Amino acid sequence: MAGRIQQGDGDVIELRRVSKQFDNGLLAISDVDLSVGASEIVAVIGPSGCGKSTIVRLIAGLDRPSTGSVQVAGHRVSGPDRAVGIVFQQPRLMPWLSVEKNVSFGLDRDAGSDGVVAEAIERVGLTDFAEALPRELSGGMAQRTAIARALVTMPPVLLLDEPFSALDAFTRIDLQQHLLDVWGWYRPTMLLVTHDIDEALILADRVIVLSGQPGAIHSEIVVDLGRPRARTDRAFHSFQDRAMSELSQSSQVVTSGSQAHGSRRPPGSGR
């Protein structure tokens, strides 16, 4: 797998001078410029409360920017769109539906979609659990179901909002590999929000470091490592060091900022 590909298609996700102020007056992000090319995997890292989730919610059309423009595939985002799939930190499965029914949840019924659903479930390795209810699943399996649900329509854009942060380390590493497999399947454009440096470096072509608060872009790291990437690699370690120092610089900005703003967090950023 090559690092960056199909960059010629133009930017699929594009944020221009985007700020978001919530009704309670909290400025979540300020003047963010961000673009993600076709089939690119970009990770956004930063301290908690720096508006990472806000960026995802704006791209998904779940919130509107206060100023600036958010575009997906050249069109201004005006609301949720089937072209954008999203995986939240919590699996958010419907507890009364089986894995299979959860995966097909957003599809139009009687659309002859059985094959698509079965394939999405197979991609995340849950074929044997298609009939299981969410309460019978482990945390990792539940999150795989959520990934399959987001993938079932093969959206050109896949947003992941701290998708693995509620899972244990082993499951997390396993799911990161699953995610790369999925990317290899149809190469969606992926934006991943995380606070896990290793996760960002394992998965992403570029890592955007945010500072907060309000969230603003602090720096960008181009991860020009081949794949598969090994955590034990010397080159990987040097990226870790770099990301760590960028992150600590960015959180120094936070420390001074958070004294002024208290510990308030934007609504919805917690989940």
Determine, following the binding rule CB under 8 A, whether residue 271 of this chain makes contact with other proteins.
yes
Residue 9 phi, psi (nearest 5): -70, -5
- Mask for 135-164, x = binds other proteins (CB under 8 A): x-----------------------------
Q: Nearest distance from residue 96's CB to other proteins, in Å?
A: 4
Q: Is 60 within 8 Å of 191 (Cβ atoms)?
A: no
DSSP code of residue 123: H
Instruction: Specify the residue, 10 or 80, whose C-beta has the smaller distance to other proteins.
Output: 80
129 touches other proteins (CB under 8 A)? no
Residue 186 binds other proteins (CB under 8 A): no
Calculated CA dihedral for residues 69, 73, 79, 80, nearest 10 degrees = -140
For other proteins, the closer CB: 133 or 173: 133
Cα 121 from Cα 142, distance rounded (Å): 12
**Could you tell me the maximum CA-CA distance found in the chain, to the nearest angstrom?**
56
Per-residue x/- mask for other proteins, residues 225 to 244, rule CB under 8 A? --------------------
Residue among 10 and 106 whose Cβ is closer to other proteins: 106
Handedness of CA 217, 44, 160, 81 (dihedral sign): positive
CA dihedral sign, ordered 58, 35, 215, 86: positive
Q: Which of 46, 49, 134, 214 binds other proteins (CB under 8 A)?
A: 134
Number of residues that bind other proteins (CB under 8 A): 20
Determine contact, residues 134/102, Cβ cutoff 8 Å: yes
- For the beta sheet containing 67-72, the strands, ordered from the edge strand earlier in sequence to the opposite edge, are 27-37, 11-21, 67-72, 75-76
> Nearer to other proteins by C-beta: 80 or 226?
80
Which positions from 33 through 92 interact with other proteins, judged by CB under 8 A?
A: 60, 62, 79-82, 86, 88, 90, 92
- Residue ranges in contact with other proteins by CB under 8 A: 60, 62, 79-82, 86, 88, 90, 92, 94-97, 105-106, 133-135, 271
